[in-house]
A and B are shown apart, each in its own frame.
Chain A
Amino acid sequence: MGKERAAVLGVGQTKYDTTYPGSMAGMLREAATNALEMSGKCWDDIDAVIMGKAPDFFEGVMMPEVYLAEALGCVGKPIMRVHTAGSVGGSTACVATSMIQSGVHETVLTIGWEKQSESNAMWALSLPQPFATSVNAGAGGYFSPIIRRYMMMTEAPELIGCMVALKDRKHALNNPYAHLHQPELTFEQVVESPMLWDPIRYSETCPSSDGACAIVLGSEKVAEAHDGPVAWIKGIAMRSESGSFAGRNMVSPAASEACADDVFAQAGIHDRRKEIDAVEMYVPFSWYEPMWLESLGFAEKGQGWKMVEEGATSIDGGDLPVNCSGGVLSSNPIGASGMIRFGEAALQVMGLAGDHQVDGAKTAVGHAYGGAAQYYAMWVVGADK
């Protein structure tokens, strides 16, 4: 069955920060308005709004999509919420894309957001349960044993994670929207930062951010009529798997590998490292960069950390720049974080990434994961149809 082509016409973001100074509705409106402005579209042009955010407990607003319809110009139009934990920003963009690929809509606004200042994700991720023992607190306590297994498996040098953390914070200096701007940060400071969830240092974790990211998507007809660069969507893929079963590959879950295989096949990518010019991947804890480099097929198994060590993932001379925006390690409005990865990948191939533009980027990848590394969403975007 044939699919309609879809393209990104505009990406809009808010400045990621500890606290967005306005209301939740105002924050979404700002991101959506910025995306509309880049796309040259107005509210009346939008056929439907597809939104996504992290679990309701993270902000304590039940069914926010009901309250936010007016702020997003969605009166009298279809509105739909997607929910796949931390990967939600990515899967929301995938669902929005499929609305165009299926021929249902011509122009769609998609948006993801989080206002972490209103709540505490650590609390929401550590809810008590009767009859049970809980020794866990927050996401780091869950992912640290997995990172430990990766380190043992690959015998990677101990400070690879610190190298990723420093690289992403340096990248963030070129992105005005990034939450963390730490121009004075040194490698020694990253290394000497206290261990939180050993082997994860404080400096190797993501901040808690407020922010929203919106993307305007159009059909081929709409994109052709657009006066300005667009990012053609070459493939979208989503996968999931159970969080616990015997023999589960926790370091590189089968769902992650299947998601990557699917999206690269759709995009006709054969040599992933060579053919992809920029990657925005979901790295909330630094060690996930080498782990995903392997899982997504940019490196052989056990070799991902060497790409980090060689500087291959730096915008400054690397052949596969990863997270030129500063990534999740520099801004983490959870429900938006996946959408930011997708939006930043689009900006790269549109040539609109500003000071963190990869020269001549033609093909880029957006990636997100969520839950107990259970949910995956990816897209490949290109400058050419």
Chain B
Amino acid sequence: MADEVLTAPLVLEYPFTRTTGPVIGGFLTGLREGVIHGVRRSDGTVMCPPLEYDPITSAPLSELVAVGTVGTVTTWTWNGEPRAQQPFTQPFAWAMITLDGADTPMLHAVFVDSADDMATGMRVEVVWRDKREGHIIDIAGFIPAVASTTGEPGAMPGDVEQIQSVRTSIRMEYTYTPGRALSQYLRAMKDKRILGDTCPETGEVSVPPRGVSSVAGKPTLPELVDLPDTGYIESFNITRVPIKMRPDLTPPYVSAWIVLDGASVGFMGLGMNVEPEDVRVGMRVRAVWKPDDELEMSAQNILGWEPTGEPDEVITDYARVGRIEQGDDQ
């Protein structure tokens, strides 16, 4: 369908580095050594996993105590469709497990064949990961405990190196939808057409179209307008050092605000076929398109902007941006 809204996957991921402090660091150090710690509150009760501050009095907590590796399920639910990064790939139970010697439960996974094997009150024991590094994933999960397992608290070896920081990778998968106005713009891009939309009050033309006027706070006019692929540079930046996150951009490169002929406001584009030293505010430019057989429904069809060789645009007010000659009374 011609006006169907486009969608695309969007994945964001980053390996965050957490400095732990002594309480969480002590807990993680214990996991590496095969010992699970809780923290003792002033009333003598033990919270596992430990918290840095008392959940009732807000007092700082510091006394780590080893708890057992066997515990009791206090409640549970079945997870029939495990996702990536969950403890098991096969269906499993999420359970609240109070380890022996602790007074609060931890949430973790219990690996059993089916929900029929789960019950509140059942005894479960820790399954350690083969190689432990001082991370919460050192606990692979839990399985039903055999009667002979006591799960006595382990003893920490003396003089171990404390965990001070830990890497936690986060990955989020989105379905990105650019919306109605932008979808029309992207479809037209496949035909090397550039569309903008118009504010019903000021007549301001925005590229890419936004569907709504940020000035009037109203929907833009339903009819999009075709714009030429020429315009001018209203200001620019020259990035002169490599940006770690953008290995695809080789410095020095020019990122410029491009105002198309007929448009009211600019957008950011890459300067091409020009030395950075030769770029000027007001310089006339035209789009450099991908070869026709590589065109997609994407703004990436425009590789960048190159000088046309025409005389520069005359800019009268460097504070203000966009085409402001008409209808601007300030």
Chain A residues lying within 8 Å of B188, measured Cβ to Cβ, are none
Chain B residues lying within 8 Å of A140, measured Cβ to Cβ, are 237
CB–CB B20/A135 < 8 A = no
Q: How far is the CB of B141 from chain A (nearest CB, A)?
A: 24
Q: How far is the CA of A57 from the CA of B14 in the complex (A)?
A: 9
Q: How far is the CA of A127 from the CA of B57 in the complex (A)?
A: 40
The answer to whether B270 has its CB under 8 Å from any CB of chain A is yes
Which residue in chain A gives the minimum CB-CB distance to B213?
A: A245
Partner of A71, one of B20, B52, B237, B244: B52
Q: How far is the CA of A248 from the CA of B330 in the complex (A)?
A: 11
Chain A residues lying within 8 Å of B276, measured Cβ to Cβ, are 198
CB–CB B6/A152 < 8 A = no
CB–CB B281/A123 < 8 A = no
The answer to whether B17 has its CB under 8 Å from any CB of chain A is yes
The answer to whether A80 has its CB under 8 Å from any CB of chain B is no
Q: How far is the CA of A353 from the CA of B297 in the complex (A)?
A: 57
- Tell me which residues from 41 to 81 in chain B have a Cβ below 8 Å from any Cβ of chain A: 51-58, 60
The answer to whether A303 has its CB under 8 Å from any CB of chain B is no
Q: How far is the CB of A46 from chain B (nearest CB, A)?
A: 10
Known: A131-B300, A246-B322. A75 touches B246 (CB 8 A): no
CB–CB A70/B54 < 8 A = yes
CB–CB B319/A251 < 8 A = yes
The answer to whether B324 has its CB under 8 Å from any CB of chain A is yes
- Tell me which residues from 16 to 35 in chain A have a Cβ below 8 Å from any Cβ of chain B: 19-26, 29
Q: How far is the CA of A22 from the CA of B10 in the complex (A)?
A: 33
Q: Which segment of A92-100, A141-149, A160-168, A182-190 sits at the interface?
A: A141-149
Tally chain A residues at the interface, Cβ within 8 Å: 66
With a 10 A CB-CB cut-off, give which of B8, B241, B245 has the most chain A CB atoms.
B245
CB–CB A73/B324 < 8 A = no
Which residue in chain B gives the minimum CB-CB distance to A148?
A: B235
CB–CB A145/B237 < 8 A = yes
Partner of A117, one of B17, B56, B330: B17
Chain A residues lying within 8 Å of B215, measured Cβ to Cβ, are 242, 245-246
Q: Mark B5-39, 1 if CB is under 8 A from A, else 0.
A: 01011101010111111111000000000000000
Q: How far is the CB of A285 from chain B (nearest CB, A)?
A: 11
Q: How far is the CA of A115 from the CA of B165 in the complex (A)?
A: 13
Q: How far is the CA of A198 from the CA of B245 in the complex (A)?
A: 18
Chain B residues lying within 8 Å of A134, measured Cβ to Cβ, are 268
Known: A129-B10, A136-B255. A122 touches B236 (CB 8 A): no
Tally chain B residues at the interface, Cβ within 8 Å: 76
Tell me how many residue pairs across A and B have CB atoms closer than 8 Å: 198
Chain A residues lying within 8 Å of B164, measured Cβ to Cβ, are 21
Q: How far is the CB of B270 from chain A (nearest CB, A)?
A: 4
Q: How far is the CA of A74 from the CA of B55 in the complex (A)?
A: 9
The answer to whether B4 has its CB under 8 Å from any CB of chain A is no
Q: How far is the CA of A161 from the CA of B268 in the complex (A)?
A: 24
Partner of A137, one of B16, B239, B321: B239
- Tell me which residues from 249 to 269 in chain B have a Cβ below 8 Å from any Cβ of chain A: 249, 252-253, 255-257, 264-266, 268-269
Q: How far is the CB of A150 from chain B (nearest CB, A)?
A: 7
The answer to whether B328 has its CB under 8 Å from any CB of chain A is yes
Q: How far is the CA of A248 from the CA of B259 in the complex (A)?
A: 14
Q: How far is the CA of A119 from the CA of B249 in the complex (A)?
A: 22
Chain A residues lying within 8 Å of B300, measured Cβ to Cβ, are 131-133
Chain A residues lying within 8 Å of B193, measured Cβ to Cβ, are none
CB–CB B255/A247 < 8 A = no
Partner of B297, one of A43, A131, A135, A194: A131
CB–CB B16/A141 < 8 A = no
CB–CB B19/A118 < 8 A = yes
Partner of A145, one of B236, B243, B319, B322: B236
CB–CB A248/B321 < 8 A = yes
Chain A residues lying within 8 Å of B266, measured Cβ to Cβ, are 244
Q: How far is the CA of A247 from the CA of B238 in the complex (A)?
A: 24
CB–CB A135/B270 < 8 A = yes
CB–CB B324/A246 < 8 A = yes
Chain A residues lying within 8 Å of B321, measured Cβ to Cβ, are 149, 246-250
CB–CB A246/B265 < 8 A = yes
> Could you list which residues of chain A lie within 8 angstroms of chain B, going by C-beta atoms?
19-26, 29, 43, 57, 59-60, 70-75, 115, 117-120, 122-123, 126-138, 140-142, 144-146, 148-150, 152-153, 194-198, 202, 242, 244-252
CB-defined A-B contacts under 8 Å, sample of 29: A21-B164, A22-B22, A23-B24, A26-B21, A60-B16, A70-B52, A71-B52, A120-B245, A122-B244, A126-B243, A127-B12, A130-B176, A131-B186, A131-B299, A133-B270, A133-B300, A137-B239, A148-B237, A149-B318, A149-B319, A153-B318, A196-B240, A196-B241, A198-B240, A244-B265, A245-B215, A246-B264, A248-B321, A252-B319
A245-B322, A247-B322 are known; give 8 further A-B pairs, CB within 8 A: A70-B58, A135-B268, A135-B270, A141-B239, A245-B214, A246-B321, A247-B328, A251-B318
